[in-house]
Structure formats: C-alpha cells, structure tokens
Amino acid sequence: MTYLRPTTLDDALAALAGPPVTILAGGTDVFPALGERPAPRPYLDISRVAELRRIEENAAGWRIGATATWTDIVNAPLPAAFDGLKAAAREVGSVQIQNAGTVAGNLCNASPAADGVPALLALGADVEIARSGARRTVPLAEFVTGPRRTALSPGEMVSAILVPPHPQHAVGGFAKLGARRYLVISIAMASAVVVPEAGRAASARVAVGSCGPVASRLPALEDALAGAPLERLAERVAPEHLAPLSAIDDVRGTALYRLDAAATLLARLLGEVGRAALSGDRP
Amino acid sequence: MSDAALAPDAAEAAADATAAIGFVLNGRPVSAAVSPGMRLSEALRQHLATRDVKVGCNAGDCGACTVLLDGAAVCACLVATRQVEGKRVDTLAGLLDTPEGHRLADAFARHGAAQCGICTPGMMVAAVPLLAADPAPSEAAVKDALGGVLCRCTGYRKIIAAVMDAAGPAADAPAEADGVGARIPRIDGHAKIHGTERFGDDVAPADALVVRVVRSPHPRAAFTFGDLDDYAARHGVTVLTAADIPGVNRFGVIPPFADQPVFAEREARFRGEAVAAVVGEADTIAALDAFPVSFTPLPAVTDPAAAQAEDAPRLHESRPGNVMCRGLVRRGDADAALARADVVAEGRFRSPFVEHAYIEPEAGYAVCVGDRVEVYASTQAPVMDLEGLAPILGLPVEKVRIVPTAVGGGFGSKLDLSVQPYIALGAMKTGRPVRLAYSRTESMQSSTKRHPSDIVARIGATRDGRICGFHFEGDFDTGAYASWGPTVANRVPVHASGPYRVDDYLAKSAGIHTHNPPSGAFRGFGVPQSAIAQEVLFEDLAEALGIDPLEFRRRNALENGVPTVCGQIFEQGVGIGACFDALAPHFARARAEAEAFNAAARAAGSPLRRGAGLAAGWYGCGNTSMANPSTIRSGVTPEGRIVLHQGAMDIGQGANTVITQIFAAALGVPVAAVALVGPDTDVTPDAGKTSASRQTLISGNAARLSGAALRAMILRQANAGDDARIEPTAAGLVIHDGAASRPLDLAALPVDRLGYTLSAEESWDPPTAPMDENGQGVPYAVFGYAAHLCELTVDTALGTVRLEKFTAAHDVGKAINPLLVEGQVEGGIAQGAGMALMEAYIPGQTEDLHNYLIPTIGDMPPVETLIIEEPDAHGPHGAKGLGEHCLIPTAPAILNAIRHASGARLTTVPATPSAVRAAIRAAEEAQ
C-alpha cells in the first residue's frame, strides 16, 4: 500500500486520476470508519497542500479551502452571517476533533447528522469540485445526495466550499440538541441566516439537520420569515414548515420527538438571531 | 507531480515498505519506521516507547491518546504518522517538564484527580494549552478544553478542580498526618499522573506476537471452518479453536454455573462470541484478510419474554425455559398487607444493558517460563483468574502465575476472564510471548454488561406513612452465559426493599438466558435497577399520602434493632437515618430554591423547570452468605524495611492507599515507611476479588490484623512495651520505649523465603450465615447506607435535563481517607447519571463510544459529599464498604427530580430527551 503526499493541488488531482485512493486530511472520519482493518486503498494525504488550507474573501464571497479545520473557522475573521457556522464549529466533537477535522470532510462524510451542513445550507454555500484539468461547482443541497452519498465522481475531490457574499449586517445562528455535552451526535439541529432591513427580516435562509437522510432547507418557513419583524421571527415557525423533513426513529430519539424538537430549536434560534440582528450584537 | 513531494513516497511504494518518519517528540528529534497508514498513537506506543499515550477507542471518541501536534490537542489515533513528519509532537512525558505541566501534575495529586489513571495523560495534555493561555481558567473554559477526554472513574469534578487550581499552592505545603481518617493523596498516584503507570497493554515485550480473535457477527449462528491449516500456512500464523484447548473449554466465575466456552463449538450464542483466534507477528496480524469461517444465522431470542416462550430455543440443555436461576426473599405476608394498605403504588420498570465503558479495554500478555505460564493482564481478581484459567490450560494451578497490571477501570467486568485464555493458549502453542488488547468494539461486544431489568412492583402504605406490603418481581436478562447472573438473582431480593423497614415482603427474581452478551457484575449487582422501582414507588406513596418525600423515607428508615427483610437484626451500625437527617436541610433549601426558580420561570414564560429529588440505597458488603476471606501478609527485612503484600486489586478506587493506611496505623508507622508488593499469585496471598464493596471492610481488617501482629512481633523482639513507638529510619527500625530509644537488631534472625526476618500473615472473613428457603438469614456482616439529593433543570420543551447539583450522604462507618471517599462518590454518581439519562447498550447499534454515550465533563454537576460515620463493629475502625453504594441512589434520585420539576413520572431508563419529552406530554395530557 502506498501513501501519497502531494504539496500542490495539481499533484493531488494527478494522483486522484490514478487508481482509487482514500483521501486523508483530518482523519477524523477516515480512521474511525476503518476500525481495526487494514486500509483497503492507498492514502492520498492532502494535508500538506498549503493552498487548500486557506479561508479567504474575494469578489465572489468567501472561499473555505478543503483542508480548513473547524478551529480555522472559529479563528477566522468572518462576518456575522457566519456566526452559525462558527457556533457549529465549536459543537463538532471536541477540541481534538475541531483541531484536526475539516469542514469539507464533514460534507464528504455525508452523515445525516453532519454538524456543518445546516449552517452551510443557511449560508447558501456551493461546493467546488476539482478533478485533473477541470473544476465544477454544485450547490451544497445537490452535493450531499443521501446518507453517506455525495455527488463526487471517481477522480474528483472537493477543493473548496464557496459562500456567496452576504450583507455586512446579516446575522447567522446555530442550535444543536444532543443527549450529552461534547462529543455527541446531534438528535436535531437548526441553523439560520437572516438579513435584517429596517427592523424586519428582508430575507432568511433556514436549515435543519438530523431530521432526515440529509439536512434540508425549509423554504416555506423562509418565505414566512421574509418581511417579519425581527422581534417576532420565532412566532413565524409553524408545523407545516417542517414538511420537507423526514425524520426517523433511532436510538437517539423518535421521529415525532425530532420534529417537535426541531420546531422548538427553530423558534429559539430565530428568536436569538432576531434579537442579535436588532441589537447589532452577535449572539 | 512535484518530485520533492512525491518522489520519496513513490519510492517506498515500489518497495511497499515502511518509511522512516522524522519529527520532534517531546523536544527531541526522533525517527520511526512506520507502515503507510500507521496511526500516530501506534507509532508512539509501539515504535517510540511513548506509552504515556493511551489508546481507549481508536476512533477519537475517548481522547485518551490526546497529544499536542504543533501545540494543538489532537487524538493521536486519528493522525497518520506520516502527517507529523517535520512537526512537533508533545505527550504528557514531555509536557511535565513545562511549568504548566509541572504545576498541573502537582494539582492532580493534591486533588485526587486520578483514580485508575488511564485517562489522566489525555486529560493533562488537553489541559496544558488552556493553562498556557490562562493560568486560572474558569470552570466553563476547563470543560471546553477537556470535553474531548472521557473518564469513567472520577466523575470529573476533581479533574476540574485540579485544572482550575493548577496555579494554587504547590506540594511543599506541610504534609498532613497520614493515619486512618487522613485525607492523603493516593500513594500510587505518581505513576498515574506521570504517565508511567503500566496498564494491560503497556507491559508486553517488543517481540511479543499478537492475537486477533475471530467473533460471531450474529446473535446466534452455526459455523463451520474452512481449511485452517492452509490459512495458517499461507499467512505464517497459528490458529486456535476449541480443538486446541488442552483442558476444558469452559469457564465461569461461579463454578457450579460455569458454562462459557473460550471458543464456541459449532454454535455461537451471542454477537461477538469468540469462535477462533489467530496468533502471529504484529504486522502480519494487522494485514490479515478474511478468516475462513462461514456463519449460518439461526433464530435467536434476544429478550427474556421471547426466551421464556414455549417454543423458544434453549441456550443450555440443563436450564429449561432458559431460566438460569431464581432468587426469593419472603417475610410476613406481602399480599395480605397490600390488601389492607390505605394506598398502593405500582409500576413496571425497565432498564437496558449498561456497558462498563472503562477507558482501558481488556489487555495483557502471557509468556511461558519453564513449564509454567505467566499472565500479565488487567484484572480485578487475580486468584479467580488463576483458578479459572488453569483448568482451561490443562495445568495445575501451581503451573500458572497471574501478575495483574494496573487496571484502567473495572467496575465489575474485569472480574471475569477476557483476554487471559487467548494469550495463555497462544503462548503455550507458540512458545513466544503473546499479547492482546481488545478493540473498543470487541470489548463492548464480548465483555459482560449490567443486566437489563423488567420489574413489576407494588408497594402499600398506611395513612400514617408506614410501608404496608411490598411485592416485587424482576426478570433479569442474563444473556448467553451465567457469569455473575446468579449473584444478581440472589442480591436483588435481599436489597429490593431499600434500607427500610418492610415487615411484609415478597421479592422474586429470575435470571433468564438470551442470545445477548453475558450480563455480569456491574457496580451494584442488580441493586441499582431494583432501587429505581422501589424509590419511584416510594415517591408515589409520599405524594398519595401528602407526606414530604424525605419525611416519608425517614419514617420508614431501617434502624438498629429492627429486622431487615431477611430477618437480620443489626444492633448497631445502621446509618440510613443519619443520612436522611444530614440531607434534610439541603432538601429543604433545594425545594425552596426550585419553587422560587419555577415561579420566576412561569412568570417569564420560560420552559425551564427546576426539580429536587431524593432516593436512598443500601448494599451488603462482601459475598452473600458465603465465605470470602482476605489474607494480608507483611514482613520486615533484615535491614528493617517494612513490606506489605497488598493483594487487594486497586482498580482506581484506592485500595493501595486505604489498605496501607489501615496497616500503617495498626503497625504504628507512617504510610511512607511501608513498601508495597502488589498482587501476584506467586508472592502475595489472596485478598479476594475487588468486588461487592468488600476490600476496605475485609482486606482492611486483614491488614489491620497483619499490622497488629507484626507490631507485636517487633515489640517482642525489641523487648518493648505495648505502647512503644516504632520509628523507621534509613538505618533500620528504632524502637522508642519510654525514655529509651534503641535500634532494633534483626541481623541475628533467620530470613524466610520471601526475605523477611519477621512476617505476619493474617486473614479475616466476615461472619455471615446461610439464608433459608425464604431468604431469611444473615447474608452480610455489614451494610453501607446512602441517600442522594439531586437538583436539576428540565427544559420541558426539549425534554433535556441539566444536572445542577448532587448532595450525597454516605454512611461509610469511618472514612479511612475522605479524599478517596469523595472520589468514589463523585465517580459513582457519574455512572448513575449515565444510567439514568443516556446509556443503553444495543448489540449491533451502540458498540462503540461514539454511539454509546457516557457522561462527559460537561454533564457532571458539583457534588457535595456528606460523610456519615456510624461505625460498624465489624469494620476496621468502624469502616464499611462504599464502592457500589455511591451509584445505587443516583438514578432514582434523578428520576424523582425530573418528576418534581416537570410532572413526568419516568419508569424506564435511560431518560433520554426523547423519553422525557414524551413523558411530559403524557403528563400534560393526563391533566
């Protein structure tokens, strides 16, 4: 078995064009999935590709490189719209996991309970996919196609997460529900980004995770929030807004409970985000 | 491709070989030859002798392997060694040289923050970056920094205190007296806090072969092997199956019930049961492909109801109806009393498998020495291991030596054999040292569990608040094999009354076999389960009668001179009333605060509700109506060195310290003057198993007797009076008798085979008497008593529970070491809280520490321990056991507090947010 360790993206993509490999960055999903078995494929370690680690702003918005860690997100000078993503970053596993695990890896792992997905959906993120000689961009909602399934084809990897520009005064938030503190798989979670305008929500994006095979935006709720007074966002949450969710019963909770809890999380989250938008403080 | 980046690895690929990876480890440049995907944790432990890095899960779920990578905490098990090339890696061993590390080690010792010590390196490493940034961090900051490291012993509170106090006064504070009752740091703490403690996977020689056990993936399956000889030849390995066992393919901790094979024969009876093992070089084992075995799933019964059905498959031919055994205690006439009771409360109570989840998986190594086999492994019961293992190996016990390693948590499950047969058979078959450390999933699948319970109980009371009739029936899922199931079946009826006066009582229990993992011993042996039923029903009765819950319990509390449900009358030493009295002011305060909080919450429209709940427990120390002596040996060398052969396994609870304190006090010397020789079946006598809250009582008494006997010998030799003082000095013992002081000359005395001139071996066995067919008798010489007050907040909209505080009153008779008492109580409460709120082992679903949740540092509230000392005449200095007592009241106290807060009456654990929310909705709908 080989271990490939490129230092440039082009080299990584060239390696990816060959026989199948396991892409290794933070290792926080790769090694647990492997367990005690021998690695089935060569590793392609992309953690030395410096250009992939950057978080940077450009005319098209923010670009979060594929190997940027959760701790990088926490430490990055991101605007208030990213506060939900930052809050999610602090809730991922533990400090150890946040220091190693990458945001892009969280998307590629495609767990229904991936902490990063709702916050990035609320930010309207796209996923930049690279292969040797080509790049394409897909909306995050189309990137995660099911539990443990993504739109990646053989020879492709995520090169970055792209977040479109948000107004400077947009505010984001995130709420996670688990059965314990730290190191916990979410039972339900919610994230929102609200763009305030004259005391009202000009627009909002809202997403819920762990309540279906993939995290989902809630378009009907987003419509209901548009134009609502900031201090009354929580009241706009109605049961029918949760229709896109398809929660299941599992060891962490019943489907009924998940939907009930999601509605509560959404109302609390929107209350907080609305208050933060009103005060100009970050929640 | 850039040559600089890829050429070296491409070259390795061609050779498919290991590569030398250089990095800076603890300040020194090192190089390790590692295979391509080797985890950093493995490279550090196996190639760089950095065994202060512990491995608990290999999945980032426990944090035991936390190291600093360029200053940032990461789990070494999630890092490929090649990823750290050219970087800086710091482990505890290196960080101890930093100012933060040094102060932290001191604080960990001072606060008793290490119990078993397996999580300690990870905890300390995780704390170092925090302390470097903030020498006096807040509790919230400590929790955030340490939230990724699990501990199963301490309940985290002393760890939090140690980190917050790392900048506090250092060890040069004057040493306290170290006699009985002194709050001294554990005497074996240095190794634990410095990462030098040697646990089960830390002792094997570098050239040891490795075992991989092959296990059934089905709860019940027939299996056949392919060509094993071919497989062995092709891989250069040795294969072990049932056919390779020289002795009997059977073991079990209770010999009449021994029924568990080392390797299943033809049919596997639970998911995770061993069918074969492969022994070979570490690299070979790591790269093994599929083992030639084919399984055919068979219809399985996985709950006691199904197992008792008419046509259910029988697990053991001699046990019809899959009933392993039953237990019974009958006193008075329960049904008649219930018929005349003014109120009757009843309910059905259920609990799932609970996993011990010690952070150290089962591990050890074995080696043949001459015609003997020596086994170095993590265990709670070395002599039981010896007696269980020798017949498997076809050897007399003299040909087997058990040398326990340090134990990274046990809680009952390391009483049973685990890795020992595989490593011993492997060593005998190959002639090489052989090691085995279970993976986390393997540990969870194959080790014993807390018995799932299904209890139906009815308890009556009269209008004046006295218990009037108690009827209890409990089925316990004992899994595929007996293990400690008979003990659970016996103990539950004896204890299900709780520490109360119940004149009319009928309690029946049954252990039922299923195709589940074997249930065994887990802190409390079924009593924590039965306490939930009893204490929730007591809450019902108090409520129905309109009596304050504490007053109701106090009124029914057992007292001196009052018979237990077994008809045993203690004329002294019953301390439950004192526990309730100690809690009374705290309960009044807690209820008042909850009332004020809830009034404010209602006014503010908040969904938060505060609750305060109570529960009590008792537990008989030592075996039930059976002999279980401990023997302790001590001696003095010709040079005057005092040596204590301390065979009571210290699994983190502190036996090394407590037994030594008792011994030293009896001998009349400081603790520091006593050198310990640990458990080792060749040189240390049997101090019994570390189980059943027996070591302080039973081994403590043996140590007291040994110390007193040795003292008498020394004074006789010195021709000194009884109140002479023995002073250990560098030059030997000096005896101060009245005004005279003289060195004790031992040179003329003969030296025995262990090198002692004077030696005292003493035993103690608690006086008990058999129980009759109605369970009447003297099951235990001593009970310990406890009552807990839990304060918590329920988020009624989400069903989440936040623990706010525990106040725990424990009658320990005499606290030999109050620091260790607190440690036991805090750790027990954490386990009880896990059982109450989050823990459920489900084969095939929660087989790792990612899906099986135990409390983290963020879940444990402050604990105020109220030490009650109602001495018992049997105990050393009046001391009673404590190990199990500390978690028995916890879960029912939590359920009663949830009920007080929210109105939700829960009868099933764990009370997950989903379950609590459903119960709240049900309570609201019922209104």
Query: Per-residue pLDDT for B255 more than 90?
Result: yes
Task: Give the integer Cα–Cα distance in Å for A93 and B148.
Answer: 7
pLDDT confidence band for B289 (50 / 70 / 90): confident
For chain A, how are helix, strand and coil distributed in percent, rounded to 5? 35, 25, 40
- C-beta separation of A122 from A192 below 8 A: yes
Query: Per-residue pLDDT for B441 more than 80?
Result: yes
| Rounded percentage of chain B residues whose pLDDT exceeds 70 | 97
Interface of B with A in 656-715 (CB under 8 A): none
| CB atoms A180 and B6 under 8 Å | no
How many other CB atoms sit within 10 Å of the CB of residue B683?
15
Q: Of A132, A152, A159, A155, which Cα lies nearest the Cα of A14?
A: A132
| CB atoms B80 and A24 under 8 Å | yes
Residue of B284, B798, B852 to mutate, testing the A interface (most A Cβ within 10 Å of its Cβ): B798
- The CA-based angle A42-A45-A47, given to 5 degrees, is 170
- C-beta separation of B656 from B187 below 8 A: yes
Task: Give the integer Cα–Cα distance in Å for B551 and B581.
Answer: 10
Torsion angle (degrees, nearest 10) of CA B560, B563, B564, B570: 40
Residues of B with CB below 8 A from A100's CB? Answer: 74-75, 78-79
B147 near A CB under 8 A = yes
Query: Per-residue pLDDT for B85 more than 70?
Result: yes
pLDDT confidence band for B168 (50 / 70 / 90): confident
Q: Check residue B5 and give its pLDDT.
A: 37
Question: Which pLDDT tens digit goes with each residue over B106-161?
Answer: 999 999 999 999 999 999 999 999 999 999 999 999 999 999 999 999 999 999 99
Q: Check residue B36 and give its pLDDT.
A: 87
Residues of B with CB below 8 A from A43's CB? Answer: 36-37, 80
Q: Report the residue of chain A nearest B288, measured CA to CA.
A: A38
Q: Check residue A145 and give its pLDDT.
A: 97
Residue of B848, B914, B924 to mutate, testing the A interface (most A Cβ within 10 Å of its Cβ): B914
Task: Give the integer Cα–Cα distance in Å for B659 and B678.
Answer: 12
Q: Check residue A215 and give its pLDDT.
A: 97
Amino acid at B226: G
Residue corresponding to tokens 């792209």: A162
* Helix pair angle (B890-902, B913-926), 10° resolution: 50
| CB atoms A179 and B912 under 8 Å | yes
Average pLDDT over residues B209-231: 98
* Strand-pair partners of B74: B67
Q: Of A183, A26, A189, A187, which Cα lies nearest the Cα of A119?
A: A189
Query: Per-residue pLDDT for B387 more than 80?
Result: yes
pLDDT confidence band for B4 (50 / 70 / 90): very low
Residues of A with CB below 8 A from B838's CB? Answer: 179-180
Q: What is the average pLDDT score of chain B?
A: 96
- C-beta separation of B906 from B792 below 8 A: no
For chain A, the first-to-last Cα distance in angstroms comes to: 48
pLDDT confidence band for B10 (50 / 70 / 90): very low
Domains of chain B: 1-182 (3.10.20.30), 209-300+357-446 (3.30.365.10), 304-355+449-528 (3.30.365.10), 576-620+782-926 (3.30.365.10), 630-764 (3.30.365.10)
Q: Check residue B17 and give its pLDDT.
A: 60
Query: Per-residue pLDDT for B461 more than 90?
Result: yes
B478 near A CB under 8 A = no
B636 near A CB under 8 A = no
Q: Of B520, B530, B515, which Cα lies nearest the Cα of B450?
A: B520
Which of A32, A181, A251 is nearest residue B59 as measured by Cβ atoms?
A: A32
Q: Check residue B670 and give its pLDDT.
A: 97
For chain B, the first-to-last Cα distance in angstroms comes to: 73
B857 near A CB under 8 A = yes
* Helix pair angle (B527-545, B485-495), 10° resolution: 20
Query: Per-residue pLDDT for B229 more than 90?
Result: yes
Average pLDDT over residues B2-12: 38
Residues of A with CB below 8 A from B799's CB? Answer: 257, 261
When mean pLDDT is compared across A97-106, A115-124, B169-178, the lowest value belongs to B169-178
Task: Give the integer Cα–Cα distance in Å for A81 and A146.
Answer: 27
Query: Per-residue pLDDT for B693 more than 50?
Result: yes
| CB atoms A257 and B439 under 8 Å | no
Q: Check residue B167 and give its pLDDT.
A: 86
- Give chain B's count of helices (H) and strands (E): 24, 31
Query: Per-residue pLDDT for B874 more than 50?
Result: yes
| CB atoms A183 and B2 under 8 Å | no
Average pLDDT over residues B591-614: 98
Task: Give the integer Cα–Cα distance in Å for B870 and B882.
Answer: 13
* Strand-pair partners of B323: B512
- C-beta separation of B354 from B853 below 8 A: no
Q: Check residue A280 and give its pLDDT.
A: 73
How many CB contacts within 8 angstroms connect chain A with chain B?
Answer: 189
Question: Which pLDDT tens digit goes with each residue over B902-926?
Answer: 999 999 999 999 999 999 999 999 8
Query: Per-residue pLDDT for A252 more than 70?
Result: yes
- C-beta separation of B724 from B715 below 8 A: yes
Query: Per-residue pLDDT for B50 more than 50?
Result: yes
Q: What is the nearest CA distance from B858 to chain A, expressed in angstroms? A: 5
For chain B, how are helix, strand and coil distributed in percent, rounded to 5? 35, 25, 45
Q: Check residue B261 and give its pLDDT.
A: 98
Question: Which pLDDT tens digit goes with each residue over B532-562?
Answer: 999 999 999 999 999 999 999 999 999 999 9
When mean pLDDT is compared across A248-252, A254-258, B444-448, B895-899, the lowest value belongs to A248-252
pLDDT confidence band for A108 (50 / 70 / 90): very high
Query: Per-residue pLDDT for B578 more than 50?
Result: yes
B77-to-A103, B61, B336, B465 alpha-carbon distances in Å: 20, 10, 62, 57
| Rounded percentage of chain B residues whose pLDDT exceeds 90 | 95
| Surface-to-core class of residue A8, CB atoms within 10 Å of its CB (0-12 exposed, 13-18 middle, 19+ buried) | middle
Which of A34, A90, A180 is nearest residue B856 as measured by Cβ atoms?
A: A180
Question: Six-digit token pair at A246?
Answer: 């398809």
Which of B61, B69, B439 is nearest residue A36 as measured by Cβ atoms?
A: B439
Question: Which pLDDT tens digit goes with each residue over B700-723?
Answer: 999 999 999 999 999 999 999 999
Q: Check residue B175 and give its pLDDT.
A: 56
| CB atoms B914 and A39 under 8 Å | no
- C-beta separation of B530 from B472 below 8 A: yes
Residues of B with CB below 8 A from A95's CB? Answer: 73, 126, 144-145, 147-148
Which of A7, A28, A254 is nearest residue B78 as measured by Cβ atoms?
A: A28
| CB atoms A187 and B913 under 8 Å | yes
| CB atoms B913 and A97 under 8 Å | no
Query: Per-residue pLDDT for B27 more than 90?
Result: yes
Residues of B with CB below 8 A from A75's CB? Answer: none
Q: Report the residue of chain B nearest A257, measured CA to CA.
A: B914
Q: Check residue B14 and give its pLDDT.
A: 36
Which H/E stretch holds residue B895? helix B890-902
